[in-house]
Homo-oligomer: A and B are copies of this chain.
Protein backbone atom coordinates (compact mmCIF):
# COMPACT_ATOMS: atom_id res chain seq x y z
CA UNK A 1 0.00 0.00 0.00
CA UNK A 2 1.52 3.35 -1.04
CA UNK A 3 2.06 6.30 1.30
CA UNK A 4 2.05 9.83 -0.13
CA UNK A 5 5.17 11.62 1.10
CA UNK A 6 4.79 14.79 -0.96
CA UNK A 7 1.52 16.47 -1.79
CA UNK A 8 -0.10 19.85 -1.96
CA UNK A 9 -0.49 21.33 1.54
CA UNK A 10 -4.02 21.78 2.84
CA UNK A 11 -3.41 25.55 3.19
CA UNK A 12 -2.97 25.82 -0.58
CA UNK A 13 -6.17 25.78 -2.64
CA UNK A 14 -6.19 23.06 -5.30
CA UNK A 15 -6.21 25.41 -8.29
CA UNK A 16 -3.93 26.37 -11.16
CA UNK A 17 -2.23 29.72 -10.55
CA UNK A 18 -1.92 32.45 -13.17
CA UNK A 19 1.82 32.65 -12.57
CA UNK A 20 4.09 32.30 -15.57
CA UNK A 21 5.89 29.01 -16.15
CA UNK A 22 8.83 28.72 -13.77
CA UNK A 23 7.90 31.71 -11.65
CA UNK A 24 9.04 30.90 -8.12
CA UNK A 25 6.14 32.81 -6.57
CA UNK A 26 4.56 29.35 -6.75
CA UNK A 27 7.34 27.74 -4.72
CA UNK A 28 7.06 30.40 -2.04
CA UNK A 29 3.30 29.96 -1.88
CA UNK A 30 3.77 26.25 -1.29
CA UNK A 31 6.43 26.75 1.40
CA UNK A 32 4.17 29.17 3.28
CA UNK A 33 1.28 26.75 2.94
CA UNK A 34 3.36 23.86 4.27
CA UNK A 35 4.50 25.89 7.28
CA UNK A 36 0.93 26.93 8.09
CA UNK A 37 -0.12 23.28 7.93
CA UNK A 38 2.78 22.00 9.97
CA UNK A 39 2.12 24.57 12.72
CA UNK A 40 -1.59 23.81 12.53
CA UNK A 41 -2.58 27.41 11.92
CA UNK A 42 -4.76 27.30 8.81
CA UNK A 43 -8.10 27.91 10.50
CA UNK A 44 -6.88 30.94 12.41
CA UNK A 45 -4.67 32.47 9.76
CA UNK A 46 -5.54 35.61 7.82
CA UNK A 47 -3.34 36.56 4.88
CA UNK A 48 -2.90 39.98 3.31
CA UNK A 49 -2.40 40.02 -0.46
CA UNK A 50 -0.47 42.88 -2.06
CA UNK A 51 -0.98 44.54 -5.39
CA UNK A 52 1.48 42.77 -7.60
CA UNK A 53 1.63 39.46 -9.42
CA UNK A 54 0.60 37.82 -6.18
CA UNK A 55 -2.54 39.98 -5.95
CA UNK A 56 -4.62 36.83 -6.43
CA UNK A 57 -2.93 35.04 -3.52
CA UNK A 58 -6.36 35.18 -1.89
CA UNK A 59 -7.46 32.57 -4.41
CA UNK A 60 -4.42 30.36 -3.89
CA UNK A 61 -4.29 30.02 -0.12
CA UNK A 62 -7.04 28.14 1.68
CA UNK A 63 -7.21 30.74 4.46
CA UNK A 64 -9.16 33.94 4.99
CA UNK A 65 -7.63 36.89 3.17
CA UNK A 66 -7.61 40.64 2.67
CA UNK A 67 -6.62 42.23 -0.61
CA UNK A 68 -4.76 45.39 0.43
CA UNK A 69 -4.10 48.54 -1.54
CA UNK A 70 -0.67 48.80 -3.15
CA UNK A 71 2.06 48.86 -0.51
CA UNK A 72 -0.22 49.07 2.50
CA UNK A 73 -0.38 45.40 3.45
CA UNK A 74 1.61 46.03 6.66
CA UNK A 75 -0.95 48.66 7.72
CA UNK A 76 -3.82 46.31 6.91
CA UNK A 77 -2.04 43.55 8.82
CA UNK A 78 -1.70 45.93 11.76
CA UNK A 79 -5.42 46.61 11.65
CA UNK A 80 -6.24 42.91 11.63
CA UNK A 81 -3.79 41.95 14.37
CA UNK A 82 -4.81 44.79 16.68
CA UNK A 83 -8.47 43.94 16.13
CA UNK A 84 -7.96 40.18 16.60
CA UNK A 85 -4.67 39.40 18.40
CA UNK A 86 -5.71 35.76 18.45
CA UNK A 87 -5.35 35.46 14.69
CA UNK A 88 -2.15 34.59 12.82
CA UNK A 89 -1.59 37.39 10.30
CA UNK A 90 0.84 37.38 7.41
CA UNK A 91 1.35 39.70 4.48
CA UNK A 92 2.79 38.51 1.17
CA UNK A 93 4.41 41.36 -0.74
CA UNK A 94 6.52 42.04 -3.80
CA UNK A 95 9.46 44.42 -3.91
CA UNK A 96 7.61 47.26 -5.59
CA UNK A 97 4.80 46.89 -3.13
CA UNK A 98 6.93 46.66 0.00
CA UNK A 99 10.15 48.51 -0.81
CA UNK A 100 8.87 51.30 -3.03
CA UNK A 101 5.39 52.63 -2.34
CA UNK A 102 5.08 50.72 0.93
CA UNK A 103 8.37 51.73 2.55
CA UNK A 104 6.82 53.83 5.32
CA UNK A 105 4.29 51.15 6.19
CA UNK A 106 6.81 48.31 6.46
CA UNK A 107 9.30 50.35 8.51
CA UNK A 108 6.64 51.48 10.96
CA UNK A 109 4.91 48.11 11.16
CA UNK A 110 8.28 46.55 12.04
CA UNK A 111 9.18 49.39 14.39
CA UNK A 112 5.90 49.13 16.30
CA UNK A 113 6.73 45.47 16.65
CA UNK A 114 3.38 44.30 15.29
CA UNK A 115 3.21 40.56 15.87
CA UNK A 116 2.70 39.71 12.23
CA UNK A 117 4.78 37.88 9.62
CA UNK A 118 5.85 39.52 6.39
CA UNK A 119 6.78 37.33 3.42
CA UNK A 120 8.75 39.63 1.16
CA UNK A 121 9.31 38.37 -2.39
CA UNK A 122 12.29 40.11 -3.99
CA UNK A 123 12.40 39.42 -7.73
CA UNK A 124 14.26 42.61 -8.63
CA UNK A 125 11.49 43.82 -10.96
CA UNK A 126 7.85 44.92 -11.23
CA UNK A 127 6.17 41.81 -12.54
CA UNK A 128 2.50 42.56 -12.75
CA UNK A 129 2.83 45.83 -14.60
CA UNK A 130 5.26 44.47 -17.11
CA UNK A 131 8.84 44.81 -16.02
CA UNK A 132 9.51 48.29 -14.72
CA UNK A 133 12.47 49.03 -12.47
CA UNK A 134 12.04 48.06 -8.83
CA UNK A 135 13.95 49.51 -5.85
CA UNK A 136 15.66 46.11 -5.83
CA UNK A 137 16.59 46.03 -9.52
CA UNK A 138 20.31 45.25 -9.92
CA UNK A 139 22.82 47.82 -11.22
CA UNK A 140 22.92 47.58 -15.02
CA UNK A 141 19.81 45.38 -15.13
CA UNK A 142 17.51 46.42 -17.98
CA UNK A 143 13.86 47.22 -17.18
CA UNK A 144 11.17 48.97 -19.16
CA UNK A 145 11.72 52.20 -17.21
CA UNK A 146 15.52 51.92 -17.33
CA UNK A 147 15.98 50.73 -20.92
CA UNK A 148 19.75 51.20 -20.70
CA UNK A 149 20.00 49.33 -17.42
CA UNK A 150 19.76 50.71 -13.89
CA UNK A 151 22.17 53.62 -13.49
CA UNK A 152 23.09 53.85 -9.80
CA UNK A 153 24.02 57.49 -10.28
CA UNK A 154 20.45 58.36 -11.24
CA UNK A 155 18.37 55.72 -9.48
CA UNK A 156 20.69 54.80 -6.62
CA UNK A 157 21.69 51.34 -5.45
CA UNK A 158 19.23 48.50 -4.88
CA UNK A 159 17.56 48.66 -1.47
CA UNK A 160 18.45 45.81 0.91
CA UNK A 161 15.27 45.39 2.91
CA UNK A 162 16.48 42.74 5.37
CA UNK A 163 19.47 44.90 6.27
CA UNK A 164 17.37 48.05 6.59
CA UNK A 165 14.66 46.55 8.78
CA UNK A 166 17.13 44.69 10.96
CA UNK A 167 18.68 47.96 12.17
CA UNK A 168 15.50 49.04 14.00
CA UNK A 169 15.80 48.63 17.76
CA UNK A 170 12.41 46.98 18.32
CA UNK A 171 12.87 43.21 18.73
CA UNK A 172 12.18 41.24 15.55
CA UNK A 173 13.14 38.23 13.48
CA UNK A 174 14.58 39.26 10.11
CA UNK A 175 16.11 36.88 7.59
CA UNK A 176 16.84 36.48 3.88
CA UNK A 177 16.44 33.28 1.88
CA UNK A 178 16.18 32.24 -1.76
CA UNK A 179 14.23 29.64 -3.72
CA UNK A 180 16.32 29.37 -6.85
CA UNK A 181 17.22 25.79 -6.01
CA UNK A 182 15.40 23.05 -4.09
CA UNK A 183 17.96 23.06 -1.30
CA UNK A 184 17.68 26.83 -0.94
CA UNK A 185 13.92 26.34 -0.80
CA UNK A 186 14.41 23.94 2.10
CA UNK A 187 16.40 26.61 3.96
CA UNK A 188 13.77 29.21 3.09
CA UNK A 189 11.08 27.02 4.57
CA UNK A 190 13.08 26.73 7.77
CA UNK A 191 13.18 30.52 8.09
CA UNK A 192 9.47 30.83 7.32
CA UNK A 193 8.78 28.26 10.02
CA UNK A 194 10.84 30.26 12.51
CA UNK A 195 9.00 33.45 11.55
CA UNK A 196 5.54 31.95 11.96
CA UNK A 197 6.60 30.24 15.19
CA UNK A 198 7.69 33.58 16.68
CA UNK A 199 4.25 34.93 15.83
CA UNK A 200 2.46 31.86 17.14
CA UNK A 201 4.32 32.32 20.42
CA UNK A 202 3.48 36.04 20.35
CA UNK A 203 7.16 36.97 20.53
CA UNK A 204 7.75 39.56 17.83
CA UNK A 205 7.41 40.94 14.33
CA UNK A 206 9.01 38.75 11.67
CA UNK A 207 10.07 39.35 8.09
CA UNK A 208 11.56 36.86 5.66
CA UNK A 209 12.91 38.28 2.42
CA UNK A 210 12.95 35.65 -0.30
CA UNK A 211 14.86 36.04 -3.56
CA UNK A 212 12.64 34.92 -6.42
CA UNK A 213 12.70 34.75 -10.22
CA UNK A 214 10.68 36.57 -12.86
CA UNK A 215 11.56 34.71 -16.08
CA UNK A 216 8.99 36.70 -18.06
CA UNK A 217 10.22 40.16 -17.26
CA UNK A 218 13.85 39.22 -16.94
CA UNK A 219 13.43 37.82 -20.44
CA UNK A 220 15.26 34.64 -19.42
CA UNK A 221 13.90 31.07 -19.67
CA UNK A 222 12.96 29.62 -16.26
CA UNK A 223 15.79 27.10 -16.16
CA UNK A 224 18.34 29.90 -16.74
CA UNK A 225 16.64 32.37 -14.41
CA UNK A 226 17.78 30.43 -11.38
CA UNK A 227 21.39 30.78 -12.54
CA UNK A 228 20.88 34.49 -13.21
CA UNK A 229 19.59 34.96 -9.69
CA UNK A 230 22.51 33.06 -8.20
CA UNK A 231 25.06 34.98 -10.20
CA UNK A 232 23.61 38.48 -9.99
CA UNK A 233 21.48 38.71 -6.87
CA UNK A 234 23.13 36.44 -4.27
CA UNK A 235 26.36 38.46 -3.97
CA UNK A 236 24.43 41.66 -3.30
CA UNK A 237 21.68 40.08 -1.25
CA UNK A 238 23.51 37.75 1.18
CA UNK A 239 21.39 35.01 2.68
CA UNK A 240 21.08 34.45 6.40
CA UNK A 241 19.50 35.70 9.60
CA UNK A 242 19.92 39.43 10.21
CA UNK A 243 18.15 39.89 13.50
CA UNK A 244 16.66 37.76 16.25
CA UNK A 245 14.32 38.99 18.99
CA UNK A 246 16.77 38.35 21.79
CA UNK A 247 19.78 39.31 19.74
CA UNK A 248 22.04 42.31 19.56
CA UNK A 249 21.20 45.75 18.25
CA UNK A 250 22.13 45.71 14.54
CA UNK A 251 22.25 49.47 14.02
CA UNK A 252 25.65 50.91 13.09
CA UNK A 253 27.20 53.29 15.59
CA UNK A 254 28.93 56.57 14.80
CA UNK A 255 32.07 56.05 12.71
CA UNK A 256 35.25 55.56 14.66
CA UNK A 257 33.36 54.29 17.69
CA UNK A 258 32.98 50.82 16.28
CA UNK A 259 29.70 49.01 15.86
CA UNK A 260 26.98 49.45 18.43
CA UNK A 261 26.63 46.18 20.32
CA UNK A 262 23.69 44.91 22.35
CA UNK A 263 25.38 46.53 25.35
CA UNK A 264 24.17 49.90 24.08
CA UNK A 265 21.76 52.05 26.09
CA UNK A 266 18.53 50.17 26.65
Contact = CB atoms under 8 A, between A and B. Distances in A.
Interface residues of A, number: 49
Interface string A143-164: 0000000001111111110011
A111 B257 contact: no
A103 B108 contact: yes
B265 A235 contact: yes
A185 interface: no
A240 B259 contact: no
8 contacts: A103-B108, A107-B107, A108-B135, A111-B159, A238-B253, A240-B253, A243-B255, A252-B252
A236 B257 CA distance: 15
| Copies of the chain in the assembly | 2
Interface string A22-42: 000000000000000000000
A107 B254 CA distance: 19
B265 A242 contact: no
- Pick the most buried of A112, A155, A235: most chain B CB atoms within 10 A of its CB: A112
B158 A112 contact: no
B236 A255 contact: no
A248 to B, nearest CB: 8
A55 interface: no
Interface string A241-262: 1111001001111111101100
A101 interface: yes
A157 B170 contact: yes
Given A104-B103, A238-B257, A257-B238, A251 B112 contact: no
B159 A112 contact: no
B255 A242 contact: yes
A186 B159 CA distance: 34
Nearest to A257: B240
Interface of A: 100-104, 107-108, 111-113, 135, 152-160, 163-164, 166-170, 176, 235-236, 238-244, 247, 250-257, 259-260, 265
Given A111-B156, A113-B152, A247-B255, 4 more contacts: A156-B170, A176-B254, A239-B254, A240-B255
Contacts of A113: 152-153, 156
A235 B249 CA distance: 14
Contacts of A160: 167, 169, 251
A11 B159 CA distance: 36
Contacts of A155: 112
Given A104-B101, A255-B247, A152 B170 contact: yes
A251 B163 contact: yes
